[in-house]
Homo-oligomer: A and B are copies of this chain.
Amino acid sequence: MVEGDGGLGRWQVRTDLALEAHEEAVRRRSVAGVDVEERRHGGVSVQSVTIRDEEAARRIGKPPGHYVTLHAPGLRRRSRRHGREVVALLAEELGRVLDLDESTSVLLVGLGNWNATPDALGPRVIERVLVTRHLGEAVPPELRGQLRPVAAVAPGVLGLTGMETGEIVRGIVREVRPERVVCIDSLAAQDPDRLCTTIQVADSGIRPGSGVGNHRAALTRETLGVPTIAVGVPTVVHAIAIVESSLRTVTESFRGRGRWGDLVGAFGDDEGDRAFLRRILSPKLGELMVTPKEIDLLVREVAWVVGGALNAVLHPGIDLSDFGEYAQ
Contacts and interface: CB of A to CB of B under 8 A. Distances in A.
A10 interface: no
Contact of A284 (B151, B192, B326): B192
A88 interface: no
A159 B174 contact: no
A253 B280 contact: yes
A249 interface: yes
B117 A281 contact: no
A249 B243 CA distance: 11
Contacts of A118: 117
How many chain copies does the complex carry?
4
A93 interface: no
Interface in A137-177: 137-138, 140-142, 149-153, 155-156, 158-164, 167-168, 170-176
Nearest to A293: B287
Interface in A42-76: none
A322 interface: yes
Given A140-B79, A153-B161, A293 B288 contact: yes
A212 to B, nearest CB: 8
Interface of A: 2, 77-81, 113, 115-118, 131-134, 136-138, 140-142, 149-153, 155-156, 158-164, 167-168, 170-176, 192-193, 212, 237, 239, 242-243, 246-247, 249-250, 253, 260, 263-264, 266-267, 276-277, 280-281, 284-285, 287-297, 300, 304, 321-326, 328
